Amino acid sequence: MTGVPHNIVRAVIATLMLLCVALPLQAQVIEPARGSQDRDNMLDAMRIFAEKELGAPVEFVVTELRASGRYGFGNVIAQRPGGGAIELASTPGALAGRLEPDLMDGTSMQALLRKSGGDWVAVHWAIGATDVWFAYAPFCRRYGDVIAQYCVGVD
């Protein structure tokens, strides 16, 4: 290398190496592709609770589905296969008093998921929520990569 002193080259290389180590690694957030094992497993983890509350069978229209490492987020609308509407008042959850159809935002469902071993588990979930219940500081700290846009300004 002519024209550039070796000590400057070494300083630049050292600085770049330091930056690579010092900067936090940006977690990669992905949307699992249709037909992928992760997508199917994440939706199945949500389906367990959806079918308990809404009755089986349930399929989802996926609004948002994201994963980053062992954390995930799903935002879906539950329906009957083929697009049939779910009559909330006659669901197991409503009949047992766990769901209040008049106070719900339809069959929307959100879940915060965690991958445990090779299995996805819906750790926190809600059906028909009328607020953004997961924009909560403890959730934002743990699931922040997959719910980042909901956590802006949440301490």
pLDDT above 60: residue 13: no
Q: Who contacts 8 (Cβ-Cβ below 8 Å, separation ≥6)?
A: none
Rounded Cα–Cα distance for residues 51 and 11 (Å): 60
Q: How confident is the model over 38-86, as pLDDT tens digits?
A: 999 999 999 999 999 999 999 999 999 999 999 999 999 999 999 999 9
Spans of all domains in the chain: 27-150
Q: What confidence category does residue 155 fall into, taking pLDDT thresholds of 50, 70 and 90?
A: confident
The predicted structure's pLDDT at residue 16: 45
Rounded Cα–Cα distance for residues 88 and 100 (Å): 8
